[in-house]
Amino acid sequence: MRSSALFAATLCLVLVAQGDCKSHLKTRRLAKVKLVTFDWKNCGQPDAPATLTTLELSPDPISIPGDLSAAASGSTSVELASPLALNVTLEKEVAGFWVTVPCLEELGSCHYPDACDLLDQLIPPGQDCPEPLHTYGLPCHCPFKAGSYSLPQSKFYIPYVDLPSWLTNGNYRLQGVLGAQGKELGCLKVALSLNSAR
């Protein structure tokens, strides 16, 4: 997305790709999920090529299913092209300790050799980018050209989701590190809390 490829890859993986991977895992349909806390920060070097500048989500808390309003901006000083490695570390708070969630069926703390391939699986090449990206003329496939990008305040509808049984209630920390040719291009940390009901 034009809110930097780091934002695109991270947001797609957090909100969409997990739903795509869920078919391989034991899941349960939940009546409602609430995202009760959400925080983010860049975790790369100060001169990292890809950074997220702003990310605003509302309402607080966010209900799933429900409407979500989001705005974001970021930049990349280099073109981000395939192969674009993505290393994800997911931790869950258990009895006051942070426990790393292993990679299970491509969900959890996983290494993805090419985030561009993940985007192509979610939105097949040749298909229009989903709204509101299409309206604003924002790309959703690699390569992402160097530049400063922004997604204006936009509304999304988040449908019902089936979640793995271990990903229903609790506090989570997610770190995504984007890299190419052995070099780190950007890093983003997200902290969130989920509260769900059957």
What does the radius of gyration of the chain's CA atoms come to, in whole angstroms?
Answer: 16
CA separation for the pair 155, 117 (Å, rounded): 26
**Residue 183 confidence (pLDDT):** 93
Residue 42 pLDDT greater than 50, yes or no: yes
**Residue 40 confidence (pLDDT):** 96
More confident residue, 106 or 52: 52
Nearest 5°: the CA angle 175, 167, 141 is 50
CA separation for the pair 25, 27 (Å, rounded): 6
**From the CB of residue 105, how many other CB atoms can be counted at a distance below 10 Å?**
13
- Kindly list the structural domains of the chain, giving each domain's residue range(s) and its CATH number in brackets, ordered by start: 5-197 (2.70.220.10)
Question: pTM of this prediction?
Answer: 0.81
> CA 136 → CA 80, 117, 171, distances in Å?
20, 23, 34
* Pair 55, 7: CB distance under 8 Å: yes
Tell me, rounded to whole angstroms, the distance of Cα 51 from its chain centroid: 14
Residue 78 pLDDT greater than 80, yes or no: yes
Average pLDDT of span 98-109:
89
